[in-house]
Chain A
Amino acid sequence: MMSARKHIYWIYWLLITVGLAVYLTMQLLGEDKTVYLPGKTSHGHYQIEMACAACHSDPLGGGEVLQEACMNCHGSELEVADDSHPKSKFTNPRNADRVAKLDARKCVTCHTEHKEEITLAMGVTQPDDVCFKCHQDVAENRPSHEGLEFPTCATAGCHNFHDNRALYEDFLSKHLGEPEVHSTAKVAPLSPVEVYQTISSYPIKQYPIKALKSNEADQPISVRRDPKIVQDWMDTAHSQSGVNCSACHEQKTEGLDKPVWVDKPSHKVCSTCHTDQTKGFLSGKHGMRLEQNLTPMTPGKARLEMKRTAHGDELSCVSCHSSHRFNTKDAAVEACLSCHDDQHSNSYKDSKHFNLWHKEIRGQAAENTGVSCATCHMPRKEVKHDGVKIIIAEHNQNDNLRPNEKMLRSVCMQCHGLGFSIDALADRELVEKNFSEKPDVHIESLDMVKKRLGLKKDVDGM
């Protein structure tokens, strides 16, 4: 009798084990791997949490694998930011005592993933007073810092751990006494299309520079000719510079001699000519899922507030630059506001920035003097191809977002003085209100610099 019961237990055990193994294997092979998540993923990575291998590229690897994964995505950004705390500063044995306190050689020391309970802003999982561990004697050389609370270093608009390009002392001193708004307030114009055609990757032989007429549209007979689409195309730089229908819709397929017509080309087609823009798109929150071969991002998957009407829309290049029209003005404001539904976004149309934008698009103000969503979140930047300098819009809208002081040089200072800009970015309520008023917060860093330089001058003069 006992023996039969024992057998039943063994059968139960076997069934449960096999069932569990089958379930876990199916989860691992399927798209939804939630069961494997050790904790809630941070806001920076939650979109790609089902692409485990994006970070855990080698299941047998240790910390060095994770570090490599961090650097694969964030390395170039740190290099551009002149990272103030690069790994190379901590590998020298003289800093062994510091590494023992805080192993700054590894990103995960401060950015532990899947630990919601200790995750602060910007995915930081160290307490706010982390700077104290190495800089506790700062007041010895900077008397102005005497008595400042240790958690304030990186939270008061004065210092960042990685990016201090607009916050170092000599930069502050160079921009002392600047006005709230510069008289020459405008952003750099985007490069004209002709510049793109000088790049070696541009298919110039197939699509020579030449304004095309509507009857030259080369869609095959099998594809219905839609007069509206043709008109939209005629209104764009594409038709004016020789980019015909086939340039985007015809794709070469392995094993076939003739290219195949594709109704809805993917971002990969856009990247043929708009390489930097597509790279930016795939690096930011709009396109990072596509970069990991996951289904496209939809506003419904976002953690920010999004409009219900947009929840199911899949994000691609054409979701903002509607296909065939590619109107960059629409993409710069209306496209954003068709999804984003937070206070900052909803306050934009009450701001001075929007007034300037409104005037520009109505032709009442000069080009590049308006301030759209894209002006701040997709700022103009210079890239080089084959030695040719091109001004493009940075399509990774997260690139300058956090900490927001990253916007100082690339965005705010194009129009505003540094002091005013630092104060505005530090005023969290004002950010929510989309800068509709003057800042109510004052950051003392410029005052400290002024005082220190003044004192130094007095000493020198003695």
Chain B
Amino acid sequence: MKSKILVLFSSIIGSAFLLSACGEQKTTGIDPQMMTDSLFSVMEADRTVYTKLIIGRLAKDEKVIKASEHWKDEKALVLPAQMFRYGAERVAEKGAPFSYSLLSLWPVNKQNKPKTEVEIKGLNYIAENPGKNFYSEEELGGVKYFTAVYPDVGVAPACVSCHNKHKDSPRTDFKLGEVMGGVVIRIPI
């Protein structure tokens, strides 16, 4: 009798396990950090290529065309930071589930200074720890996000010289290879 009860009990527990496994499939999606790291590698590559091969080459070295913040009025090339932001806006317009921004502790446009707690922590962390990234989670507008902050480094002399000379730049002593800001990528989780 005892063994019958034991078999019955074990079969109930076993079937409960089996049934619970039927209800939800094991998540096989990409890890958020792997996702943001991958996104950043594309962003960084494109940004570097544009900065070096377009701006550095045509505007600084060959002096074929100017690069200007007011590119439309001055019939000039879009600045690398603008190129990056326009891309982010296009991605947002298309309704992509992730978002990204280019921020800095020393922004030319004050709207681009960090403002959420994670942004402030992350921007400070990457500035103080060159070469390292910052990962965290935060809740904004009732949605929980995996937020990654990556260093944005001055890769070409043009980055450094323009920011150091800009009338609205709060810092004028940037050096080549230094962290000038950060790319913040958010994925809802």
Chain A interface (Cβ within 8 Å of chain B)? 82, 86-89, 91-94, 96-97, 99-100, 140-141, 168, 170-171, 453, 456
Contact = CB atoms under 8 A, between A and B. Distances in A.
B62 interface: no
A37 B74 CA distance: 47
B116 A94 contact: yes
Contact of A93 (B72, B73, B143): B143
List 8 tightest A-B contacts by C-beta distance, closest first. Answer: A96-B141, A88-B89, A93-B140, A96-B140, A91-B92, A88-B92, A92-B99, A456-B167
A93 B99 contact: yes
Contacts of B99: 91-94
Contacts of A91: 92, 99
Contacts of A140: 110
Given A92-B101, A94-B99, A94-B184, 15 more contacts: A86-B89, A87-B93, A92-B92, A92-B99, A93-B99, A93-B141, A93-B143, A94-B119, A96-B143, A97-B141, A99-B141, A141-B110, A168-B70, A170-B70, A456-B167
A87 B115 CA distance: 19
A170 B69 contact: yes
Residues of B in contact with A, size category: 20 to 34
Contacts of B145: 93
B116 A171 contact: no
A453 B142 CA distance: 43
Contacts of B101: 92, 94
Contacts of A141: 110, 168
B186 interface: yes
Interface in B37-93: 69-70, 72-73, 88-90, 92-93
Contact of A171 (B70, B110, B119): B70
Nearest to B184: A94
Interface of B: 69-70, 72-73, 88-90, 92-93, 99, 101, 110, 115-116, 119, 140-143, 145, 167-168, 184, 186
Contacts of A92: 88, 92, 99, 101
A94 B110 contact: no
Most buried by B among A82, A96, A141, A168: A96
A96 B141 CA distance: 5
Contacts of A456: 167
A141 B106 CA distance: 13
A253 B175 CA distance: 72
Contacts of B73: 171
A96 B116 CA distance: 10
B70 A100 contact: no
Contact of B141 (A87, A88, A100, A170): A100
Q: Is the interface of A mostly helix, strand, loop or mixed?
A: helix
A93 B93 CA distance: 13
Contacts of B140: 93-94, 96-97
Nearest to B143: A93
Contacts of B93: 87-88
Contacts of A453: 167
B122 to A, nearest CB: 12
Contacts of A87: 93
Contacts of B72: 82
B136 to A, nearest CB: 13
B70 to A, nearest CB: 6
Most buried by B among A86, A94, A97, A170: A94
5 contacts: A88-B93, A92-B101, A94-B186, A140-B110, A170-B69
Contacts of B168: 141
B184 to A, nearest CB: 7
A348 B172 CA distance: 53
B145 to A, nearest CB: 6
Contacts of B115: 94, 97
Contacts of A168: 70
B19 to A, nearest CB: 37
A168 B88 CA distance: 23
Nearest to B73: A171
Nearest to A91: B92
A74 to B, nearest CB: 16
A265 to B, nearest CB: 39
A94 B120 CA distance: 12
A141 to B, nearest CB: 5
B186 A93 contact: yes
Nearest to B188: A93
Contacts of A100: 141
Nearest to A93: B140
Nearest to B98: A93
B112 to A, nearest CB: 10
A93 B186 CA distance: 8
Nearest to A173: B167
A86 B86 CA distance: 11
A351 B142 CA distance: 59
Contacts of A171: 70, 73
A99 B110 CA distance: 18
A221 to B, nearest CB: 56
